[in-house]
Amino acid sequence: MKFYDTHAHVNSPEYGDEYEKVIARAESEGVWFNNIGTNKADSSENVLIAREHGEGVYATVGLHPGFVSGSDADGRREEFDYDFFAGLAREEKVVGIGECGLDYYRIPAGMNLEDVRQKQVEVFKKHIELANASGKVLIVHCRASKDTEDAYTEALKILKNGAAKKILVHSFTASPCVCEEFLALGAHIAFNGIITFDKTGNSAKAVALCPEDKFVLETDAPYLAPVPHRGKRNEPVFVKHVAEKIAEIRGATLAEIADQTFENAKKLFLANS
């Protein structure tokens, strides 16, 4: 059985110098993955790692909204450098632009939601432009303010107006009705370990309503490890637990979900290469 983890960060500092082992385990278990960029430094590294490995190891390049507004834990901030990312995007094994989008969950000290919103919306639109110019998939990250869906509804509004040609909504956790709106735009939806411990029931409903050619798997490793590894460091080989849960929700076999999502991801990311 082969799996395609469409969203992992294998060179994250969480792995220290073990990241080659993480990649080796994925390769030996038939797990393909996209190594997702969040800033200039890791995007460049992702390109090098993809070059050093064979089929099944791909890269994306972009600026995570947390770095746009300085919302991550240590408050690091970066300006979006279009030409820099456009240069990386010319690499053959770069399959996507992002992760990019809107993250309204953490508001850094000295800013309010409106400041964060303005900065992130502007940079998100530049990613859309780059995704369309390069023909790569737009990897959308949305995290709403507590108890709302604000980041999702705003992303939908932007995408309706300046539609990107290929869209993947990563780590989908919003309501089934938001899921339907993204699907209506032609987007693909990625589910991760959250569906194995989601108590709201939203994820299961979204999983159930996706047409079979519109959803893919991801881990978001090293974060969001699925049950039975919950709370531990995640890695691409754990993607099979996400597939198991989807199989259970959709009344399918694990092999069917593995094959279907592998084909969906290959078609989405690798169709032109």
Nearest distance, CB of residue 220 and Zn ion, angstroms: 5
Stretch that binds Zn ion, among 184-192, 202-210, 214-222, 238-246 (CB under 5 A): 214-222
Which residue lies nearer to Zn ion by CB, 42 or 150?
42
- Give, as one character, the DSSP assignment of residue 199: S
Which residue lies nearer to Zn ion by CB, 70 or 101?
101
Stretch that binds Zn ion, among 107-115, 151-159, 212-220, 258-266 (CB under 5 A): 212-220
Phi, psi for residue 200 in degrees, rounded to 5: -75, -25
Which residue lies nearer to Zn ion by CB, 44 or 254?
44
Stretch that binds Zn ion, among 108-116, 147-155, 215-223, 262-270 (CB under 5 A): 215-223
Integer CA distances (angstroms), 250 to 57, 103, 199, in order: 28, 30, 17
- Report d(CA 242, CA 195) in Å as an integer: 7
Which residue lies nearer to Zn ion by CB, 70 or 96?
96
Spell out, one character per residue from 171 to 210, where the chain touches Zn ion: x when CB under 5 A holds, - when not.
----------------------------------------
Nearest distance, CB of residue 36 and Zn ion, angstroms: 5
Which residue lies nearer to Zn ion by CB, 223 or 247?
223
The helix/strand/coil state of 169 is: strand
Task: Report the half-sphere exposure of 244 (CA within 13 A, side-chain side).
Answer: 11
Binding to Zn ion, residues 81-140 (CB under 5 A): none
Cis peptide, bond prior to residue 226, ω within 30 of zero: no
Nearest distance, CB of residue 9 and Zn ion, angstroms: 6
Phi, psi for residue 263 in degrees, rounded to 5: -65, -45
The set of residues, in sequence order, having a beta carbon less than 8 Å from that of 241 and lying 6+ positions away, is: 193, 196, 226, 227, 228, 229
Binding to Zn ion, residues 217-236 (CB under 5 A): 220
The set of residues, in sequence order, having a beta carbon less than 8 Å from that of 123 and lying 6+ positions away, is: 63, 65, 68, 80, 100
Q: Residue numbers of the site for Zn ion (CB under 5 A)?
A: 220
